[in-house]
């Protein structure tokens, strides 16, 4: 079973690599990529801790609702674990 | 047409009837000044040399879609290499001798029922170390904002009309990974060797906004 996750719908200021159009959207983990320096710290020249990065696959209907061209088409994005919460 | 209007004054126009490009006499921007200051400091302190910087720029400019095309052609010809490419595209490219630096690369495979297309909505992430510099449209707001929402309409504008039963997968390069599409090998290419196959692989076919050429 694919693990379902939701992108946190928060809007913090600063250099964030989580696109706004995916916040609050639910998808499945496509693959785990390992740990990478946290861009939210790196962007300011701070010592960055390493955070787990995942590829999450979203259905276009989940992202765009009725505006989706074709439900079943997908959007994959890399999202850091601290932006994800479990979804049921 | 440039000479449709004989009454039109060509003063200040080039012989083809277009305005000359203005000299860039405007002052340096903040970032241009910073780049020059940083470069001069690094040279002054002996960290690097002007020659080394010029060599690096040459090395980056020498990278072109032909490098990616060679990787694709190898994958079409060698199933074991294709498996390694899909498992770790960076390692597979290095194995072919491409110096792609620290590039973290993922290859996504087009099949009879799946078409992949790559974008970076947040900026302009692109596998430059393998494919060279991205086309200007890749960095445009229009491409970045539209391909994630209406990929089929965008692909039609590129001349690629995908049937309804093909699933479109859009890949947004949001963080540390870069992507290359492994296009499907065209039919009628059974007898071709790797270098002939590589000739068919266009830049756009590795971004996903096109498909490979078919042999003449």
Average pLDDT taken over every residue of chain B:
94
Q: Is B93 a catalytic residue?
A: no
Whole-prediction pTM: 0.90
Q: What number is the ipTM of this complex?
A: 0.97
B83 is catalytic: no
Q: Is B121 helix (H, G, I), strand (E, B) or coil?
A: coil
Angle value at C-alpha B122, between B92 and B132, nearest 5 degrees: 40
> How far does chain B reach from its first CA to its final CA, in angstroms?
34
> Under an 8 Å CB criterion, which residues of A touch B?
17-19, 21, 33, 36, 39, 53, 55, 57, 63-64, 67, 69-70, 72-80
Give me the residue label for tokens 């879609």: B65
- Which of A41-45, B15-19, B211-215 shows the lowest mean pLDDT across its residues? B15-19
CB B173 within 8 A of CB B120: yes
A19:B173 CB<8 A = no
Chain centroid to CA B123: 14
Closest CA to B120 of B177, B162, B183: B177
Q: How far is CA B128 from the centre of its chain?
A: 7
| pLDDT above 80: residue B178 | yes
- Inter-chain contacts counted by CB atoms under 8 A, chains A and B: 63
CATH code, residues A4-86 = 2.30.30.50
Rounded Cα gap, residues A47 and B22, in angstroms? 44
- pLDDT at residue B11 in the model: 62
B144 contacts in A (CB within 8 Å)? none
pLDDT tens-digit map of B56-75: 999 999 999 999 999 999 99
The residues that bridge with A58 in the sheet, in sequence order, are: A75
> In angstroms, rounded to a whole number, what is the distance separating the alpha carbons of residues B171 and B148?
8
Query: What tokens appear for A20 in the block?
Result: 């706004």
B145 is catalytic: no
Q: Which residues of chain A have pLDDT under 50?
A: none
Distance from CA of B28 to the nearest CA of A (A): 24
Domains of chain B: 13-62 (no CATH), 64-207 (3.90.330.10)
Calculate how close chain B gets to A88, using CA atoms only, in Å: 24
Asked if B107 contacts B205 with a C-beta cutoff of 8 angstroms, the reply is: no
Q: Do the chains contact at A74 and B170, CB–CB below 8 Å?
A: yes
- Predicted confidence at residue B1, as pLDDT, reads 47
């Amino acid at each position: 079973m694919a693990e379902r996750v939701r992108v946190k719908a928060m809007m913090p200021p600063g250099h964030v690599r989580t696109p706004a159009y995916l916040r609050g959207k639910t998808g499945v983990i496509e693959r785990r990529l390992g740990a990478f320096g946290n861009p939210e710290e790196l962007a300011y020249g701070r010592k960055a801790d390493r955070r787990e990065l995942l590829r999450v696959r979203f259905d276009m209907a989940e992202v765009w609702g009725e505006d989706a061209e074709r439900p079943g088409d997908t959007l994959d994005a890399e999202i850091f674990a601290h932006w994800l919460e479990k979804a049921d | 047409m440039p000479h449709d209007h004989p009454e039109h004054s060509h003063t200040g126009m080039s012989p083809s009837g277009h305005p000359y490009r203005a000299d860039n006499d405007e002052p340096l921007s903040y970032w241009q000044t910073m780049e020059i200051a940083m470069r001069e400091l690094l040279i002054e302190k002996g960290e690097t040399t002007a020659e080394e910087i010029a060599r690096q720029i040459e090395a980056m400019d020498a990278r072109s879609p032909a490098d990616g095309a060679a990787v694709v052609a190898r994958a079409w010809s060698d199933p074991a290499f294709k498996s390694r490419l899909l498992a770790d595209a960076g390692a597979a490219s290095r194995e072919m001798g491409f110096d792609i630096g620290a590039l973290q690369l993922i290859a996504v495979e087009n099949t009879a029922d799946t078409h992949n297309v790559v974008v970076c909505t947040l900026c302009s992430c692109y596998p430059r170390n393998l494919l060279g510099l991205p086309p200007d449209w890749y960095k445009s707001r229009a491409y970045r904002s539209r391909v994630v929402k209406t990929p089929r309409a965008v692909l039609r504008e590129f001349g690629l009309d995908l049937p309804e039963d093909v699933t479109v997968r859009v890949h947004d390069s949001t963080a540390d990974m870069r992507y290359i599409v492994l296009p499907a090998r065209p039919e009628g290419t059974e007898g071709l060797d790797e270098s002939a196959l590589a000739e068919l692989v266009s830049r756009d076919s590795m971004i996903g906004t096109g498909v490979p050429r078919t042999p003449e």
